[in-house]
């Protein structure tokens, strides 16, 4: 497409700068061609006047679940990706999940890629959930996937159908170190959770609220410390996903101060929601099921504060939605946990929706005059530029600079939305029947979302303008380390000691 499109008069925000007002962004063939003032134009030049509003890079949501076998209700690719662009996200990284019985990951990757093809409003890629990392998969299939642009895996330390034991974790980490794929880890201690769950069930405590009781912070803390230790032993960079616990976060922080390449992610639910939400309401106690996610919502406002500190001080590298959609009022959705009038939290599908609300919720606290919790630059790092770097999209996504894809969020001018925007289910574009953020007010919302130079969302004029064939599969490169470095000796080991066995 030969187009010349200018975004005029904006406050341009990148991971490093908020530029002086009035910068123009030139776009050609879907890429940013130049930044400047008074850029040359002719009658064919399409102009978007940002009216002095902030412009940030299109959101990169590096953790979403769309159309996975284990959550058949909620979103498919069309509704999930539509919701993404309406909230300013132009790239999502979703999951293809291997079954433990599968000796090859190729069929599962092929199947999940087919589900997305021609059905995505935004650009997309896949992480592989590895549940059966056989030697053949690691030595033969992983290099193939990497060559096809699937350069990251997620490993689980809990859930019977998904979890890996320590020796499997070690083997995958060593393979990651050699092959260079990015490793995400769900860190919760499986045995702690199943012991408590069995005992709660025996005592008749099965309401949704007990989901939070069954997964105490210590389960996250222990598993986090353990996976950091395994990563240090094998000298492998990792990212610990959806962190919710202060002590676990402190393990990460301490590792980072030792320059270990330990990255961490948190999500909106761990900044805004507390476990009391699992109690539902007077009319319907089971409504608490809407907020069942793992790790669970924590009990105390101080827990939320701790996560905000990690957002501000750099402990977290990414802020993802972990959009894990399950319809509430559906026999195959959250209502799986309600049978014959009996609530059983262990049968409730895990997860909350949030791909559309992720950016507005965090932006609400970024660079504002009063009570700011993070800078605008840090907002861009967390929501766009750092996930792009970590997952092999540097140079293409996550920045507003010549050569990058022209993926932009143009916010409303700050003075325009005096009352803010109320988050309401009826205004969202996902396929789920609720939002856990119902009624919350945010100060701004993406006015336009631009995907590779095309206006795909115009909040004031028609809403969704894009189509489900706009999104393309991203052939990602290898991710790069954002925090720390490899190549360090392990404390207490002799220099070179690892070479005897590695």
Q: Which is nearer to ligand DUC, 117 or 344 (CB)?
A: 344
Per-residue binding letters, 347-366, with ligand DUC (x by CB under 6 A): ---xx---------------
Smallest gap from residue 149 Cβ to Zn ion (A): 21
**DSSP per-residue codes, 2-13:** --EEEEEEEEEB
Exposure class string for 116-150: b at 16+ Cβ within 10 A, else e = beebbbbbbbbbbbbbbbbeebbeebbeebbeeeb
**Contact call for residue 146 and ligand DUC (CB under 6 A):** no
| Residue 457 neighbours by CB under 8 Å, 6+ apart | 85, 86, 88, 446, 448, 449, 463, 464, 465, 466
Q: 451 vs 58, 127, 383, CA distance in Å?
A: 8, 22, 16
Is residue 294 a contact residue for ligand DUC (CB under 6 A)? yes
Nearest-10 Cα torsion for 278, 282, 284, 285: 40
Q: What is the 3-state secondary structure (H, E, C) of 213-282?
A: HHCCHHHHHHHHHHHHHHHHHHCCCEEECCCCCHHHHHHHHHHHHCCCCEEEEECCHHHHCCHHHHHCCC
The stretch among 42-50, 111-119, 318-326, 485-493 that binds Zn ion (CB under 5 A) is 318-326
Stretch (H or E) spanning 18: none
476 binds Zn ion (CB under 5 A): no
The distance of closest approach from Cβ of residue 267 to ligand DUC in the complex, given in angstroms and rounded to an integer, is 9
Does the protein bind ligand DUC through residue 324 (CB under 6 A)?
yes
Residue 214 touches which member of ligand DUC, Zn ion, none, C-beta under 5-8 Å by kind: none
Residue closest to 270 by CA, chosen among 247, 300, 250: 300
Among 127, 242, 358, 447, binds ligand DUC (CB under 6 A): 242
119 lies in the site for Zn ion, by CB under 5 A: no
> Least distance (Å) from ligand DUC to the CB of residue 198?
19
**What are 335's two structure tokens?**
């209502």
Residue selected from 188, 222, 265, 322 as contacting Zn ion according to rule CB under 5 A:
322
The angle at the Cα of 486, spanning 483 to 492, to the nearest 5 degrees, equals 110
CB of 395 to Zn ion, least distance (A): 26
Between residues 215 and 397, which has the closer beta carbon with respect to ligand DUC? 215
350 touches, from ligand DUC, Zn ion, none (C-beta below 5 to 8 Å by class): ligand DUC
Cα separation, 373 vs 299, in Å, equals: 21
280 belongs to the binding site for ligand DUC (CB under 6 A) = no
Q: Which is nearer to ligand DUC, 196 or 465 (CB)?
A: 196
Residue 82 in the binding site for Zn ion (CB under 5 A): no
Q: What is the CA radius of gyration of the chain?
A: 22
Q: Which of residues 161-220 bind Zn ion (CB under 5 A)?
A: 186
Q: How far is the CB of 471 from ligand DUC (least distance, A)?
A: 22
Which residue number, 183 or 444, has a Cβ lying nearer to Zn ion? Answer: 183
Question: Does 476 sit near ligand DUC (CB under 6 A)?
Answer: no
- Report DSSP state, residue 466: -
Nearest distance from C-beta of residue 205 to ligand DUC, angstroms: 21
Among 322, 356, 364, 394, binds ligand DUC (CB under 6 A): 322
Binding residues for Zn ion, per CB under 5 A?
186, 322
């Amino acid at each position: 497409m030969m187009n010349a499109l200018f975004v005029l008069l904006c406050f341009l925000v990148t991971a490093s700068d908020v530029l002086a007002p009035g910068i123009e962004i030139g776009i050609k063939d879907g890429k940013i061609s130049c930044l400047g003032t008074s850029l040359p134009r002719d009658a064919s030049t399409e102009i978007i006047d940002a009216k002095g509003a902030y412009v940030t890079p299109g959101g990169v949501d590096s953790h979403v679940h769309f159309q996975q076998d284990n959550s058949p209700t909620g979103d498919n690719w069309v509704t999930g990706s539509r919701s993404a662009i309406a909230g300013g996200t132009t790239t999502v990284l979703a999951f293809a999940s291997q079954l433990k019985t599968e000796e090859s990951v190729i069929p599962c990757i092929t199947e999940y890629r087919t589900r997305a093809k021609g059905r995505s409003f935004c650009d997309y890629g896949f992480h592989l959930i590895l549940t059966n990392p056989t030697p053949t998969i690691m030595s033969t299939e992983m290099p193939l996937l990497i060559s096809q642009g699937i350069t990251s895996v997620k490993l689980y330390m809990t859930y019977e159908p998904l979890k890996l034991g320590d020796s499997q974790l070690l083997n995958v980490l060593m393979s990651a170190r050699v092959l260079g794929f990015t490793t995400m880890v769900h860190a919760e201690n499986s045995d702690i959770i199943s012991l408590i769950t069995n005992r709660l069930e025996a005592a008749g405590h099965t309401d949704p609220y007990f989901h939070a009781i069954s997964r105490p912070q210590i389960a996250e803390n222990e598993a986090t410390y353990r996976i950091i230790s395994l990563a240090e032993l094998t000298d492998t960079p990792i990212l610990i996903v959806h962190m919710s616990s202060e002590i676990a976060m402190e393990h990460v922080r301490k590792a980072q101060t030792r320059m270990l390449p330990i990255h961490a992610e948190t999500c909106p639910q761990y900044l805004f929601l507390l476990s009391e939400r699992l109690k539902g309401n007077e009319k319907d106690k089971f409504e608490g099921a809407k907020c069942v996610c793992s790790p669970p919502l924590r009990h105390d406002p101080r827990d939320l504060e701790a996560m905000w500190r990690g957002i501000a001080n750099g402990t977290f590298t990414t802020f993802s939605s972990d959009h894990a959609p399950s319809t509430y009022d559906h026999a195959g959705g959250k209502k799986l946990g309600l049978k014959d009038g009996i609530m059983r939290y262990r049968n409730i599908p895990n997860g909350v929706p949030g791909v559309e609300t992720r950016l507005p919720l965090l932006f609400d606290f970024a660079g504002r005059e009063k009570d700011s919790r993070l800078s605008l630059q840090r907002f861009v790092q967390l929501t766009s530029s750092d996930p792009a770097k970590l997952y092999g999209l540097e140079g293409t996504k996550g920045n507003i600079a010549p050569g990058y894809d022209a993926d932009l969020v143009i916010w409303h001018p700050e003075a325009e939305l005096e009352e803010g925007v109320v988050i309401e289910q009826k205004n969202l574009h996902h396929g789920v029947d609720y939002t856990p953020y119902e009624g919350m007010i945010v100060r701004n919302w993406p006015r336009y979302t631009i995907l590779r130079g095309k206006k795909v969302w115009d909040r004031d004029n028609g809403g969704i303008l894009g189509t489900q064939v706009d999104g393309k599969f991203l052939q990602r490169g290898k991710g790069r380390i954002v925090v720390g470095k490899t190549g360090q000796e392990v404390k207490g080991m002799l220099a070179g000691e690892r070479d005897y066995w590695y």
